[in-house]
Amino acid sequence: MNATAEHLTQTPAANEAGGISSSELDRLFDERFDERFETKMKEREQNHTPSMTIISTKGTLDMAYPPFILASTAAALGWDVAIFFTFYGLSLLKKDLDLAISPLGNPAMPMKMPMGPEWLRKTEIKLPNLVMAGIPGFENVATTLMKKTMESKGVASIGELRELCIEAEVKLVACQMTVDLFNMEKEDFIPEINDWVGAASFLPTAQKADVSLFI
């Protein structure tokens, strides 16, 4: 009787009154767990809303585009987005956007005329730094030409992009420290700013985000 009984306890079907061996139980449990785990992980992935945080530190006209374009596009794709504006990036939140660009020491900037005949528009006009620094008001010229380039190519202005971000509920978070540092006034900034915080408050959000960018 004992010999047959032992044989019986090795098949799950023989479980009448706790006859399954513990190793068999473990194996079944592991198998079941693996299946459930797979299913649950897939569910989690499908229900997960992608999120992105951007730390925006630059305040020139050209560098204003990446944070707003990335944020608005991600928001259009249904992501949760938050931008932390700090240092020069805080200027992107001013009521009166007065962003400029400097060609000085900016060797990566294409210098092409946004108007005139097609051949001219494709020509790089390289000027030495010394010349550009010497001409008063050259930065204003460069800024105006850059704005014209954006317009002629159907790219939105920074004001428009910022509006779209606000509409898409992108969280705009401002750095309190920068305001104190550069003696700025809160009234100079748009009222839609969600929060005035420090790095310690923003970092936990960045930690949980799927994508974290430093611009």
Partner 1 sequence: MNTTVNQTLDARNMNCPLPILKTKKALNSMQAGDLLGITATDPGSVKDFQSFCDQTGNTLISSESGNGEYSFVIQKS
Q: Which stretch binds partner 1 (CB under 8 A): 7-15, 29-37, 160-168, 170-178?
A: 160-168
Establish if 72 lies at the interface with partner 1 (CB under 8 A). Answer: yes
Report the alpha-carbon distance of residue 115 to residue 118 in Å, rounded.
8
Q: Is 215 in the site for partner 1 (CB under 8 A)?
A: no
Number of residues that bind partner 1 (CB under 8 A): 15
**CB nearer to partner 1: pick between 101 and 165:** 165
Grouping H, G, I as helix, E, B as strand and the rest as coil, residue 35 is: helix
Contact assessment for residue 99 and residue 112, using Cβ atoms and an 8 Å cutoff = no
Q: Decide: residue 182, CB within 10 A, 0-12 exposed, 13-18 middle, 19+ buried.
A: exposed
Among 164, 172, 173, 174, binds partner 1 (CB under 8 A): 164
According to CB under 8 A, which one of 154, 180, 191, 204 is a site residue for partner 1?
154
**Candidates 10-18, 84-92, 115-123, 152-160; binding stretch for partner 1 (CB under 8 A):** 152-160
Contacts of 130 (CB under 8 A, 6+ apart): none
What is the secondary structure of 8-19 as a DSSP string?
Answer: HTTSGGG-SSS-
- Nearest residue to 173 (alpha-carbon basis) of 207, 132, 203: 203
Q: Does 167 bind partner 1 (CB under 8 A)?
A: yes
73 binds partner 1 (CB under 8 A): yes
Asked if 155 is part of the footprint of partner 1 (rule: CB under 8 A), the reply reads yes
Asked if 196 and 189 touch (Cβ cutoff 8 Å), the reply is no
Do the Cβ atoms of 28 and 188 come closer than 8 Å? Answer: no
The residue among 134 and 154 lying less far from partner 1, judged by its C-beta, is: 154
Q: Which residues bind partner 1 (CB under 8 A)?
A: 50, 69, 72-73, 75-78, 153-156, 164, 167-168
